[in-house]
Each structure stands twice: as structure tokens, then as C-alpha cells.
Chains A and B, each alone.
Chain A
Amino acid sequence: MERKTILSLIIILMFAALLTGLLNLDILQGAKFRKLSDSNSIRLIPQFGSRGNILDRNGEVIINNRISYDVMILPQELNRLDQLLIRLSRILGVELAELKASFKKNFISSSVPVTVIRNINVNKAILIGEYRAEEPSVIITPKPLRSYPYGALASHVAGYINQIDRWRLTKLEDYGYKTKDIVGFGGVEEKYDYYLRQEEGGISVEVNHRGKFTRILGFQAPRNGKDVQLTVDLKIQKIVEDCMNGRRGSAILMDPRDGQILAMASYPNFNPSVFVNNRSSLISGLFNNPAAPLFNRAISSSYPPASVFKIVVSSAALELKKINLSTSFLCQGSTMVGARRFSCWDTHGSQDILGAIAHSCDIFFYKSGLLTGAQNIHDYALKLGLARNVGFELPYETGGFIPSPLWRKINKFQSWFDGDTANLAIGQGDCLVTPLQAANMMAVFANGGYLTSPYIVKAVGGLDVSAKKKKLIPVNLKKSTLDTVAKGLRKVVSDEKGTGNALSSLAVPVAGKTGTAQVSRGANHAWFAGFFPFDKPKFVICIFLENGVSGHAASIVAKKIIEAMNNQGLI
């Protein structure tokens, strides 16, 4: 080929190479370059919505938000940045070194605004707002912070909020959760976090190569989270917390007709605002405290039910016709079960079932229990909602435990003896019951034989969700059984020698059962579970005092609560 032809060919190839290069950049990699070009010149300034409020059943605020102001800077070239920080330090009255350090610490990338100082005084925020007119790269971001106007009230029901941890993040990534998101822990904040969560909005602005703001490109409004309305009554909650007065244990007030929780308290409690204010020493104090203040003792702890369990035995015995209204046993302070002596806390003489419940006679129940048989007791315990989770909305509920001969055999390879039945009959031994289960069990006798499905959230974002939650599960107990036990529970209070007699002075007729659970170490636990007003029960109450010494103490607390409620016309 001639030289000139070769040259022409080479020139054609050169231009073809250029076209190929163009093809590569524009078509094959075009999207990637478009993205890079945009990220060069576009910055996103986030704007925050506020988390949903937590309201009580009447719409009163329990937990809401308050506005705090953060100062953010769009990253730009170094000498302008220095000038900016100097101006800011003068306006804010903060050391320049501190601003510089916080800029460095919070710097993520040159395309993300950097927070230099959080939660400034609103007057300073206004001053900086004025400065913005000449320096649009400075941004005041209003940031809603969780606010707790009642401090530690209902802290376990609500829970606290904090930055998301890794474990949760891996599970929730697909639902739009990102690192550094604030999520709820424990209580309603955790269970309903998806609804309470706010959505970030923002402004997108254009910057030049020096990071200097040139113009606004677009805006998306942030969205507030949905409010969650609880079934809790703020007034009743306040009364309950006042009367518990910081004593270790828990208190529950529930409506037996549909399972709404009107108040739930657990002690020791905590003030959730330490997490908002990031008081790290206090926070670690909470986590390291052996008394476990973050634990909701109403649902997450289980204890031996003691005499409260006698209700189960009564129901089982009556239902299975092992005893009837006229059956009576003689209590002389102790009895022999097998080769061992089992004692009663007092000498009661001869009693029928009503008296036995009222005076909490152990002998009667040893005998009834032995007649009924441990497996039957176990089965009726399950019927009354024990030994399994109630299925409550708040997280970390535990299911308690009721032993049975079968369980013993399978798990411990031991036989079941009569002594075990006797222990079971008075609610000692391996039985464990949570205060919520006790309350639910009480509800059966308050509402005519139905197990409720307790719930605590009434509405989300204005939409009533309670209809789905009201579940009444019939318990197959004969009306006579229910009546008898209910009468016995009433007698606990009305009878002079009833263990709950302290409550008789109230204007409201109360029925219930005390319990004193023996523990291997320390003082006994104290139970009181009951319902009122007896004629038409509207409330179930369950008080549990850890190491409260005797059931009497729990009944006193219950008395205080009911009295206060009556005075405030809440009954």
C-alpha cells in the first residue's frame, strides 16, 4: 500500500479511537459520571422532623419533643473555613479551638454538612441566622429532642431512646434504618418505633468547586412521626407512682372488661432524659446498677405467687368437684403430708372454702391440693393464663413457670411427691408468676370468666387500633366456681380476719388476695392482686413489693391507690 494511503488509514483509526473513547465515557459509563458530576456540585442539608408524641388515653402528653438548634457548616476550602469559624466563635462565645476540633471530629465527607455545635441558645441561633445572610454556607438546623415533662413517670411503659446498635441495624436495614438513627429501647418507644420515627427531609443546594453555596435546588419537607396514644391514664399513673413511693417492685392497674392497662409502674425506675442529654456517667450507672432499673418488673420478672396461687387451686378443686361449698378442713397450725410436717401461718380452726381464701389458710389448700392432684393444678394454672406469655405488646415479657409431675420426670428425672403438691398448692416451690399474669388471672373473676389480652396502645397516628386488640378468651369455668372464688376474694377484704381487711375502710368495695412469697435470701415478697368495685368491677389491681415482708404491706399500698383514685373521682 502506498504511504499516503496508510497515513489516511491511520488518521481514520485515530478518529475512530476518539469516537470509541467518547462512547465509553458517555454511554457505557455515563451514569456513573453523571452521578459524580452531581455529587461535585450538589449538597444535601438535612432537616429533621420530630418523633411522634406519646399520649395518655385522654390525649394528654406524656412524652413529647422540644426544639434544639444545631449549627452546621457546608465544607469548603480551608482559608474560608477558618474565617467562618472565627466569626462563629465570636458570635457564639465559644473557643475557636473547640469549634475546629468538633469540625474535625464530625467531618464525614466534603459533600455532607458538618455539625460544629449542638443545642445552642435560641438567641444565639437568631444571631447566627442573621449572619447567614452574608454567609449562606452556615446552616441552623432545628433539631427536635425528646422531652420528658414528667421525668421518670411511666418510664418503663415508654422506654428510652438512643442511637441504634449494630444488632438492630442489621435486622432493620431493609426498613430504612441507618447508622446513627435514633431508635427506642424498651417499652412503647421500641415496639412502636417504626411509627414513632420521623422522616428526614432536606434542602438540596448547589455549590461551586470551593464549596461555596451558589443556589437552592430543591426542598423536601420532613415528616413528623406518628403519635402513639396509650390506654394509660396519666392521673392514675401519677397516683400509682406516688403511692409506690420508690419501693422496689411493680404495680399494674388494668380494666378487666377489655384488658386495657390503665397504669403500669416498676421500681427502681429511671429518667429517660439522661439518654437525650447524653449523660454518659449516669447512663452507664443505669446499665451497671445491679438493681436493674431498666427492667420492667411488671412483665419481665417472675416471682413465686405464694397465696395468690390459691385461686388456681380453688378453681381446680371446685371445678373438678373435689370439694364443694360445704367442704371444710380443720386447721390446727400444721399437718402431716407424707412423713413431713407442713405448717400453716396461723391456726384457723375449721373452715370452708370461703373462709380459707379469706384467711389464706395453708392447711385447707394442702388438703385440697392433694385431693386435686398436681397435674390438675398445673392444667388449671395454664387455663388461667399462667406459665406462658400473656402476649403483651411491650417487649421483653417473660412467661413465668408452673411445675408439674410430668415436667419433673422429664427434666429432672425425679419423681413427684405429695410434698411437692403441697408446696405447689400454696404457690411456693418452682412456681413463677409475673405481676401481669396475676392481674390477668384476677380479671377472669372480675369479668365473669374471660382471660383478657392486655394491651397498652389505643391509637397510632390518630387511628384507633384498640378494636383489634380487645380479645376476650373464655375460660371454661362453671359459673358456680367463678362465683364462689369471687365471694372468697371479697371476703378477704370484708371479713374482719381477712388478710386484706385493711382495705375494708375504703368507700369502694374491693376484692382480692394477698400473698407472702418466701425467698431463700432476704425478706419475703409481698403480693396483692384484686379488683374493684366488687359489684361491677372496672379495675384490676396488682401490687408486688420485692422484699415487702408480708402481703399486708402490698395491700396497704393498694389501699392508698384506691383511696386516691376515689378522691379524684376516677372510679
Chain B
Amino acid sequence: MNKSFFRILILALIIATLGVLSIYSSTYQKQGAWQDIYLRQMLWLIIGLVCFFLISGFNYRKLWDANYFIYGAALFFLFLVFMLGIVRLGAQRWLRFAGFNFQPSEFAKLAIIIFLARYFSRKSVNDTSLMSGKFGIFQGIILPLIFVSIPMLLIIDQPDLGSGLMLMLVFICLLYLTDVRLRYIFILISALALPLPFLWNFLHDYQKQRLLVFLNPNIDPLGAGYTIIQSRIAIGSGGFFGRGWLSGTQSQLYFLPESHTDFIFATFSEQWGFFGSCLLILMYYLIIRQGLVIAQRTQDAFGRLLAYGISLLLAIQVFINIAMNMGLAPVVGLPLPLMSYGGSSMLVTFIALGILVNIDRTRNVF
């Protein structure tokens, strides 16, 4: 057990506990099924912690071998969602299994990262240098793009535009971190950016609304803009010290939708104010920074990319979710890792953190 293990464990535990408290405070006055949600979240927390302990002892190099299996399983479940899925809030993202909902797209995120980490850390047989430096555009960009796109498109089709685009972002960032030539990366970015205006037509209406409303929430204050407006009100009304635990009117009186999932940050911020929210953001940053530090001091290329990938996954999700809460990004339905209500996200995050710790532990490998 090294220092990073404890650091990450404590930070993640604190954040997750704050999450449970926030969920409790936003639901304790609501009737019916709402009452059990924080209990479920605690259950997921405990399961997550168990996974964390287990995975941190599990040699991450085994993931290299299991890569194709993991990738395949992810694709399979995504297809399953695609076919069967249950309809909730207009999105087919969950599979119902033994009384619980689980979201394959969350697991798919991790699977894709593992895949990319392995793909770009392949070494040539002739020397032990990374092959990625010598990749041409096909091998460097197009091939991995295909492998990323398939699950990504399935996710986008669910529809979960947020997770899908986030994957693309993670892909580009990881690409940047490998030795692939910058030129290729620019080509990729331009190739993606050019058809964007054309792709606008493929968006669902509500997704279009969300993008328009992101630019100006007041064009639809009672419809698509409502969430952003209420979220900003919730955050802003916290002031410096917040309104106090259990005193968040926006979340408790139903003014803020999704107050226990995508907008859990606003719920937290309403109660704990600027002070509490800064501390929360700081804690997230510390975890991510720890991840980056682990990545930098790992000598194993696979481990390094994996660590970077996981850190990026966390960083981008946290950033987009909090920006979304503040109205700085369009509403895309990304959960806040460790805090949002949702078993799959909590599990995947703890598994990812476990892998991170394990990478740090088994450093000296050639």
C-alpha cells in the first residue's frame, strides 16, 4: 500500500460521501420511491469500495491480455441496449438485470480506454521502441478511429450525445499523448470539425434545443432553458457559505430537475456555497493530479497510457458536468463521477481508480 492508494481512497471516499449526503438532502422531503435513493447510492458506494480494493490488487497487465474480450463484451452489451433497452426519460441507456439498472456505456468508456492504451503502446518486435511514433495516418488515426467510433456511435444512438462526444475527446487527448505525429492529429480534428454543420440535421430536436439554449437560456425559459436557469440559480444562491445542509430550496422543492443525478453539483453547491464547492473541485483536481503523477512516473507505456486515459476520463467528465451545471456547457447528460446517483458510474469510477492505484504499485516492470 503506497501513498497514492490512501490519497485516492480518502479523496474518493469523501467525495462519494458528500454525494450521498447531497442526494439525501435533495430527496428526504419528497415522497415515495425517492426515499430509498440515498440508501441505494450507499450500497453502490460499498460495492464500489470493495471493487476498488480488489482491483487495486489485480495486476493491470492482465488487462492487456483481456483487452479484446473486454472490448467485445462492451460492444455486445451496447448492442443489447440498442435492441432491448428500457425507455427512461426518452433514453435507452439502461439494461435491467436482477433488479438493478446498469448502464453499459459507462463500462464501454473504460473498455475503449483500455483498448486505446494497448493499441498505442504496442512495441515493435525489432526494437523496444513504441510503434506509435512510426504510425502513418492509417494506423495512427484511421484504424483506432474505427475502433472507437463503433461503440461511440452506438452510444450516441441511445441517444447519449454527451458520453459519445466525450469519448471522442478522450480519444483525441490520448492521441496527443502518444507519439503520433501532430500533423495527423490536426487532420483528424479538421476532418471531424468540417462536417459538423451538416451533422446538425441529424440531431434530435431536443438536442438542437439544448445547444441553442446553451447559447441563450432565456429563449426557452420554461422548456429546455429551464434546467440551466434553475441550476444557475441554485449555484448562485449559495453565496459564500451556502444555505446549509438540508436547506436547499431549489433542489427540495423540485425546482431543479435531475437534482440527484446530472445536477448533483448544483444541489451540493446550493447547500455548501462557494466555499464548499471550491473544496469539492479541489478534491477532484487532487485525484486527477494524482492520476497524472502516477502516469508520469510509470515506465511502462501501457500503464502510462492507461493512467493518462483514466485521468482524462475523470477530468473531462468532471469538467463537462460542472460546466454544464454552471451554464458554461450545453446540457449533455454526463453524470458527475462519484457523486451522481447511479450504480454503473460509481462502479466504473472505483474500478478505474483501482486500476490507477495498481499501476502505481507495479511500477517496476520492463
Seen from chain A, the residues whose Cβ lies within 8 Å of a Cβ on chain B are 3-4, 7-8, 11, 14-15, 17-19, 21-23, 25-27, 29-34, 36-38, 40-41, 206-210, 214
Distance in Å from the Cβ of A521 to the closest Cβ of chain B? 67
Residues in A neighbouring B253, C-beta threshold 8 A: 40-41, 206-209, 214
Seen from chain B, the residues whose Cβ lies within 8 Å of a Cβ on chain A are 173, 176-177, 230, 232-240, 249-250, 253-255, 269-270, 273-274, 277-278, 281, 284-285, 288-289, 292, 295-296, 308, 315, 319, 322-323, 326, 328
Given contacts A3-B177, A210-B254, contact A34 B236 (CB under 8 A): yes
Distance in Å from the Cβ of B171 to the closest Cβ of chain A? 14
Of B230, B233, B235, B315, the residue contacting A11 (CB under 8 A) is B315
Task: Give the complex CA separation of A23 and B308 in angstroms.
Answer: 29
Distance in Å from the Cβ of B300 to the closest Cβ of chain A? 15
CB of B233 within 8 A of CB of A40, answer yes
Of A4, A32, A40, the residue contacting B255 (CB under 8 A) is A40
Q: A33-B235, A210-B254 are in contact. List 14 more A-B contacts (CB 8 A).
A: A3-B176, A4-B292, A7-B292, A11-B315, A15-B284, A22-B235, A22-B269, A22-B281, A30-B238, A30-B239, A34-B239, A40-B230, A206-B253, A209-B253
CB of B237 within 8 A of CB of A33, answer yes
Of B240, B278, B292, the residue contacting A19 (CB under 8 A) is B278
CB of A26 within 8 A of CB of B277, answer yes
Q: Determine the main DSSP class of A at the interface with B.
A: helix
Distance in Å from the Cβ of A254 to the closest Cβ of chain B? 63
Residues in B neighbouring A7, C-beta threshold 8 A: 173, 176-177, 292, 308
CB of A4 within 8 A of CB of B237, answer no
Q: What are the nearest 10 A-B pairs in CB distance? A: A33-B236, A37-B237, A26-B274, A208-B253, A25-B236, A34-B237, A209-B254, A21-B326, A33-B237, A209-B255
Task: Give the complex CA separation of A237 and B148 in angstroms.
Answer: 98
Task: Give the complex CA separation of A214 and B281 in angstroms.
Answer: 34
Q: Determine the main DSSP class of B at the interface with A.
A: helix
Which residue of B is nearest A14, CB measured? B319
Given contacts A18-B323, A21-B323, contact A37 B281 (CB under 8 A): no
Residues in B neighbouring A38, C-beta threshold 8 A: 237, 249
A and B contact pairs by CB, cutoff 8 A, 24 listed: A3-B177, A7-B176, A7-B177, A7-B292, A11-B289, A15-B285, A18-B281, A18-B326, A21-B323, A21-B326, A22-B274, A22-B277, A25-B326, A26-B235, A26-B236, A27-B239, A32-B236, A36-B236, A37-B255, A37-B270, A38-B249, A40-B230, A41-B253, A209-B255
Distance in Å from the Cβ of A168 to the closest Cβ of chain B? 36
Residues in B neighbouring A206, C-beta threshold 8 A: 249, 253
Residues in B neighbouring A37, C-beta threshold 8 A: 233-234, 236-237, 249-250, 255, 270
Residues in B neighbouring A19, C-beta threshold 8 A: 278, 281
Residues in A neighbouring B288, C-beta threshold 8 A: 11
Task: Give the complex CA separation of A22 and B234 in angstroms.
Answer: 12
Task: Give the complex CA separation of A373 and B330 in angstroms.
Answer: 94
CB of A25 within 8 A of CB of B254, answer no
CB of A30 within 8 A of CB of B240, answer yes
Task: Give the complex CA separation of A236 and B171 in angstroms.
Answer: 99
Task: Give the complex CA separation of A8 and B284 in angstroms.
Answer: 14
Residues in A neighbouring B269, C-beta threshold 8 A: 22, 26
Given contacts A11-B288, A15-B285, A27-B274, contact A41 B322 (CB under 8 A): no
Of B232, B281, B292, the residue contacting A25 (CB under 8 A) is B232
Task: Give the complex CA separation of A152 and B236 in angstroms.
Answer: 58
